[in-house]
Amino acid sequence: MNNDFILPAPPQPLTPAEQEKLRGRLIGFKGGYDEGYLRGRLAILDGRAEEVLPVRNIHVMYVASGKGYPYSPLDDAVLAALQKLTIQVTVTDVRQNLIELIAAQRPDLVLVLDGMDLPLEQINILRGAGIKTAIWLTDDPYYTDFTAKVVNYYDYVFTLERNCVEFYQELGCTDVHYLPFAAHREHYRPTTTRSPITRDVSFIGSAYWNRVNFFREVLPELMTYNSVINGIWWDRLPEAALYGERIEVGKWMSPQETASAYSGSKIVINLHRSHIDEVANNNTLSIPAVSPNPRTFEIAASGTLQLCDARDDMGNFYKPGKEIETFDSPREMMDKIHYYLNHEEERRAIALAAYERTLKDHTYNKRIDQLLTVIYGPA
């Protein structure tokens, strides 16, 4: 019997091309796993039922802003919550004659969004008839030159800016309450299947001058990643044309388009507008803004990591480092972009925690329940 055997040939080292191909394959597998895991977790959270809130036996007349986009999505959100939490809602807008409508409908409460174009003598008549009136201001503190002339006409004033509470109280308003906006789940929710959009970094918003100057400091570095900027006025950015469609200069995106872009981005930048802007603002007193903008909640509701400029009141809504990440300078922003694009598990953990926190605390159902509790007490 021949006991000889043939040893297998030793494995040949991979060529550089084969090594690169294998590396690409492994990266692809890892990316697919990370994407699938995130989408699966988001789908589980998205399927959870919201907390059941009390339905109040009141009739609310909701007066929409009448300004169209971008205010109309806010109107949709507030109206949807009112319809869930009260037994009757009558809808109108600032262009209609409220006095005639009130005579026919007799609501318990008139809630006005924005209200800058509503004839104030109509509010006086409503209050004289014993009907409760409330206004929810949409743009504080950026237009306080205008809102200061309006707030004293209402029984209740709600503002999304903490620093405006004391300002309106000093004007003589007795019932002023801090009530930020929130996320409307019909508009902002994560993509739970494979996303049709794949970006490293997104920013969506108008090119206020503080944003233009901020991004100019780091734009070449930012654009080495798969980064896209969307919004109006970005032709103010001298370098915009160098990046083609990656910097969109003049389009309002619908909430659904925006949510899809957020959810398809690994990181979404939220850079607030400045309270000092001689071109865009009407804030002569330069009341500083410390509260989160509506975009804060909308990004979190879309299931991605939010990288936001630090604001004093942010920690009351999301825990920095756990549910949101913040920055104080363009350099810090870029350092954190680099870090989280290379630490997927940490990025994913923050995105999931933010989404879960939003569903628990920061929906319009929760905000409207707060508003009604202020006016009518606990249900």
Residue closest to 95 by CA, chosen among 68, 132, 127: 68
Q: What is the CATH classification number for the domain harbouring 260?
A: 3.40.50.2000
- Whether 30 is in a domain gets the answer no
Q: Which amino acid is at 147?
A: T
Assess whether 351 and 370 both reside in one domain. Answer: no
- Whether 161 is in a domain gets the answer yes
Assess whether 372 and 348 both reside in one domain. Answer: no
Q: How far apart are CA 111 and CA 248, in angstroms?
A: 36
Assess whether 203 and 349 both reside in one domain. Answer: yes
Range of the domain at 269: 199-361
Total Cβ atoms within 10 A of residue 2: 4
Please, what sign has the CA dihedral across residues 354, 360, 363, 369?
Answer: negative
Residue 173, pLDDT score: 96
Assess whether 346 and 208 both reside in one domain. Answer: yes
Residue 27, pLDDT score: 53
Q: What is the pLDDT along the chain (379 residues), one digit of tens a residue?
A: 556 666 677 777 778 776 666 565 645 546 566 788 899 999 999 998 889 999 999 999 999 998 888 889 999 999 999 999 999 999 999 888 899 988 888 999 999 999 999 999 999 999 999 999 999 999 999 999 999 999 999 999 999 999 999 999 999 999 999 999 999 999 999 999 888 999 999 999 999 999 999 999 999 999 999 999 999 999 999 999 999 999 998 888 999 999 999 999 999 999 999 999 988 999 999 999 999 999 999 999 999 999 999 999 999 999 999 999 999 999 999 999 999 999 999 999 999 999 999 999 999 999 999 999 999 999 8
- Whether 44 is in a domain gets the answer no
Assess whether 172 and 219 both reside in one domain. Answer: no
- Whether 99 is in a domain gets the answer yes
- Whether 11 is in a domain gets the answer no
Token output for 329: 């300078």
Assess whether 174 and 303 both reside in one domain. Answer: no
Model confidence pTM above 0.75: yes
- Whether 130 is in a domain gets the answer yes
- Tell me how many domains the chain contains: 2
Q: How far apart are CA 81 and CA 283, in angstroms?
A: 31
Residue 16, pLDDT score: 77
Q: How far is CA 2 from CA 5, 6, 8, 111, 357, in A?
A: 8, 12, 18, 97, 73
Instruction: Answer for the pair 271, 203: CB distance below 8 angstroms, yes or no.
Output: yes
Assess whether 348 and 213 both reside in one domain. Answer: yes
Assess whether 160 and 257 both reside in one domain. Answer: no
Assess whether 224 and 211 both reside in one domain. Answer: yes
Token output for 107: 């609501």
Residue 211, pLDDT score: 97
Assess whether 342 and 220 both reside in one domain. Answer: yes
DSSP label at 277?
-
Assess whether 244 and 145 both reside in one domain. Answer: no
Assess whether 140 and 227 both reside in one domain. Answer: no
Q: What is the CATH classification number for the domain harbouring 75?
A: 3.40.50.11930
DSSP for 9-50 reads PPPPPPPHHHHHHHHHHHHHHHHHHHHHHHHHHHHHHHTSPP
Residue 18, pLDDT score: 64
DSSP for 78-115 reads HHHHHHHHEEEEEEEETTS-HHHHHHHH--SEEEEES-
- Whether 102 is in a domain gets the answer yes
- Whether 298 is in a domain gets the answer yes
